[in-house]
Each structure stands twice: as C-alpha cells, then as structure tokens.
Amino acid sequence: MPTVNHYQPQVRVTELTPEILKFELEGTNLSMANAIRRVMIAEVPTLAIDWIQFNENSSVLPDEFIAHRLGLVPLWSEDIVGNMIYARDCSCDEFCMHCAVEFNLDELAKQEQTFNCTTTHLKSHNQAVRPACGGEHMQNQEINGMMNNYNPDDQNQDEILLCKLRKDQHLKFKAYAKKGLGKEHAKWIPAIVGFEYDPDNALRHTTFPKPEEWPKSVHSQLTDADDHQAPYDAFGDPDKFYYNVEAIGQLKPETILLTAVQALKTKLGTVLSAVSEENESDPLAIPQT
C-alpha cells in the first residue's frame, strides 16, 4: 500500500449535483475526517422558522403541531444566510431584516372539497428566502387551480403539505425565520452526511456475524467474488475517506462543505491562539520548536 503524506490532504470530487456531493479525502486521520463530517452537520448556519404567531386556526391540528411542521420546512437561503446575523446578536427590539425573515399565511377554505394548505401558500417577505419545496416557481399552478391535487404517494410533488382544511376552516399566522446551527436544533441541519473509511472491514471496527450476507460496499477493493471482507489488519490506519453529502434544501452541497471547512479552520485558529497566549504568559512554559 502506498504511503500517504498525512500533512498534505488531497480531495477528489467524484459526483456533484444540485442535491448531492460525493468526494474522497486522503492525507489526514480519522479524527479530522470525522470532525469535518460533524461540522458539516452541526456548525453550518442555515435559516429556519423559529417564531410563530397564530391569528386564526380552526383546523383540526393544534397550533403546536403546525408550528413543529413549519419549523422543519427547509428554507432555501443560499444567497443571504452569510449576510444575516444571529438574532441573539442583533440590537433590534424584536425582529428586523438583518436577523430574521418574515413569512405569512392566510388561507380560508371556501370550496366543498378538502383544501390542502402547503408551502406554496407560505409567503416570504424576502424573495431570497423561500421554502425549498413549493414557492414562487409554482405560482402559476396555484392560479390555475392545480394545487389541491396533492397526492402523498407522488414522489414528484414539489410542495410540502402543512395541513388540510375543510370548508370554512381558516389558518392565519405570521412567522419569522432565524439563523441558527444544527447543534442548537435539528431544523437547522443543512445536510445528511455519511462517510466510509474501511469498505472491506480490514480494521474490524464492525463485526459481521455472517459476512457473506452483508452487502459489499461500492468502494470495495475485493476482486474475488467469494471474498466478503479483507484479511484483518491489526495495525492498519484509515487513510482514505469516502463522503456522501446530501443537502436537505437550504444550501448547495458544495457550499455546505466549504462553509464547514472554514468553520473548522476558525475553531482550530482559536485553539492555537489560546495556546500561544498561555505560553507567552507562563515564563516556565516549554518553548515550542
């Protein structure tokens, strides 16, 4: 096996679509590779609805149920989230354009059949922030009366169902989306991130009771069809990592990766600065070489 220089990380992108980024990382260790994965999940800021005021809700669903569904609606915010500040750091009295984006919904069911209230009916005060499913691109369908044909079994349906209203039932509220991190709440998580570093289980970090029944990894290096896992390598060290970043809808997958790397660099820089200051203030500290 060729020797990998652990001080020269190498990245190779194998697939990039609007929703998925797959890449391979070499030249680092397992702890750093896992740190990148965790930062992509927990430290990349996104926008999500975090404050709701209900003015009218005569549907069968309680306010809390609808509020929970709204909070989990992914909001596309690629072009604006970097310029917004956290509400806790804003000097405004409540909400302003610098720390929040207002949404409104006001729907009264007038027809006899059930009315499906979806993310298409959610109106944003900032066109740069909109539901990732449903929104401005579906306004023509709404005008043409096509939005009430919601089919939960249709995988191509663009909008997210919020609730169903019978005739004369009314739903009206005002909501604000705020900037946050996945470590604060799952609604701010930007992507599902997985990675693999031992496709043939040579390190035995996982025990397969019946290896022959376990499906082979797409990254497997085994050439013999009768081999189901590589020989045990007791002194092996992971040196190649396969990532799969599946964006939820708030940001592009490449933006998630680049933002995560920058956040990790900032964290490491803070640690190094703290260590340097401590060494300078301690006359007995061992000088660094």
User: For residue 114, is pLDDT > 70?
Assistant: yes
pLDDT tier at 289 (50, 70, 90 boundaries)?
Answer: low
Residue 136 has what pLDDT?
45
**Residue whose C-alpha is closest to residue 58's, from 167, 149, 151, 131:** 167
The tens digit of pLDDT for each residue in 31-85 reads: 999 999 999 999 999 999 999 999 999 999 999 999 999 999 999 999 999 999 9
Residue 286 has what pLDDT?
57
Domain range annotation of the chain = 10-43+190-224+232-281, 46-188
User: For residue 277, is pLDDT > 90?
Assistant: no
Residue 158 has what pLDDT?
75
Tell me the whole-structure pTM to 2 decimals. Answer: 0.83
How far is residue 147's CA from residue 118's CA, in Å, rounded to a whole number? 8
Spatial CB neighbours of 85, under 8 Å, sequence gap ≥ 6: 98, 99, 179
State mean pLDDT over 200-219. Answer: 90
CATH architecture of 10-43+190-224+232-281: 2-Layer Sandwich (3.30)
User: For residue 232, is pLDDT > 70?
Assistant: yes
User: For residue 1, is pLDDT > 70?
Assistant: no
CA 191 to each of CA 49, 198, 249: distance values in angstroms, whole numbers, following the listed order: 17, 23, 8
b/e code 10-29 from CB counts within 10 Å (16+ = b): eeeeeeeeeeebbbbbbbbe
Any idea which fold 46-188 has? RNA Polymerase Alpha Subunit; Chain A, domain 2 (2.170.120)
What average pLDDT does the structure give for the chain?
87
Residue 140 has what pLDDT?
37
| Phi, psi for residue 122 in degrees, rounded to 5 | -85, 115
pLDDT tier at 278 (50, 70, 90 boundaries)?
Answer: confident
The tens digit of pLDDT for each residue in 158-170 reads: 789 999 999 999 9
The tens digit of pLDDT for each residue in 127-175 reads: 999 999 855 444 433 333 333 443 444 444 578 999 999 999 999 999 9
